[in-house]
Chain A
Amino acid sequence: MAYVVMATGFCLILIGLYGSLSNRNLMRMIVAFTVADTGVNLVIVAVGYMSGRTAPILDAAVPVAEAAARIIDPVPQALVLTAIVIGVGVTALMLAYVYKLYEAKRTLDIGKFTELKW
């Protein structure tokens, strides 16, 4: 199970990176980055997964005594929470940039901003 989810996560990252680097339209780059971020989150959660165990919530079903034997690794989940919100923060910032770039040059093609070296 963990292998399936991890392999999918890695495929999403590759697809996202290819999409963002090969597209010329700014909006498509950002959409591809969103896909890459989702892929990274999938891989992170897949690494913390142990088959046959349950979610790290202590309640009637998982009493404190047997917690260590029955829950999966909670640390990657805490990291993914932070990674998702950072991804949204950067995406919102990039979208504001796209709006201002379009306002300045009336085009979304990254090639048109050619006064730069790249």
Chain B
Amino acid sequence: MSQLTTIVTVVLCITMIVAALMAIRGQSVPIAILAAGLVSLSASVVFLVVASPDVAMTEAAIGSGLTTFLLFFVLARVRGGEND
């Protein structure tokens, strides 16, 4: 396993953990949703590095694409209760 891919994986894993912490600690809900989208996005790149392209496509298309949009869509409808 070449050095480069190991470094890329480690960097991506660190960004994922930081983004996950932001997702639960975020100041406001939109930032939390964006952080969760970032977690899914970097997870799909890690799936590519771990030689599973099918899962990478699914995670990218469904995990970061549709889930993030669903969350923002409902958040727009439920704006009032955001900060309680």
The answer to whether A and B belong to the same complex is yes
Residues from chain A with Cβ under 8 Å of B84 in the complex: 24-25, 107-109
Interface residue from A5, A42, A95, A106 paired with B74 (Cβ < 8 Å): A95
CB of A35 within 8 A of CB of B24, answer yes
A55's nearest neighbour on chain B, judged by CB, is B51
CB of B59 within 8 A of CB of A35, answer no
Residues from chain B with Cβ under 8 Å of A91 in the complex: 67, 70-71
Contacts A35-B36, A95-B74 known; list 11 others, CB within 8 Å. Answer: A5-B50, A11-B20, A12-B17, A16-B24, A35-B20, A41-B47, A57-B53, A77-B54, A81-B55, A99-B78, A109-B84
CB of B77 within 8 A of CB of A99, answer yes
Residue A58 at the chain B interface, CB threshold 8 Å: no
Per-residue 0/1 for B5-34: is the Cβ within 8 Å of any A Cβ (1 yes, 0 no)? 110011001001100110111000100110
B47's nearest neighbour on chain A, judged by CB, is A45
Residues from chain B with Cβ under 8 Å of A32 in the complex: 23-24
Q: Which of A16, A34, A39, A81 has the most CB of B within 10 A?
A: A34
| Size of interface on B: residues with Cβ below 8 Å to A | 45
Interface residue from B9, B13, B24, B81 paired with A108 (Cβ < 8 Å): B81
Q: Interface of chain A, helix or strand or loop or mixed?
A: helix
Interface residue from A5, A18, A31, A38 paired with B59 (Cβ < 8 Å): A38
CB of B9 within 8 A of CB of A11, answer no
Interface residue from B6, B55, B82 paired with A41 (Cβ < 8 Å): B55
CB of B20 within 8 A of CB of A72, answer no
A30 to B6, CA, bound (A): 32
A42 to B30, CA, bound (A): 24
Q: List 24 A-B contacts (CB under 8 A).
A: A4-B13, A8-B16, A15-B24, A16-B24, A20-B24, A27-B29, A27-B78, A28-B24, A31-B23, A32-B24, A34-B63, A35-B36, A41-B47, A42-B47, A49-B51, A55-B52, A55-B53, A57-B53, A80-B52, A84-B59, A98-B78, A99-B74, A102-B77, A107-B81
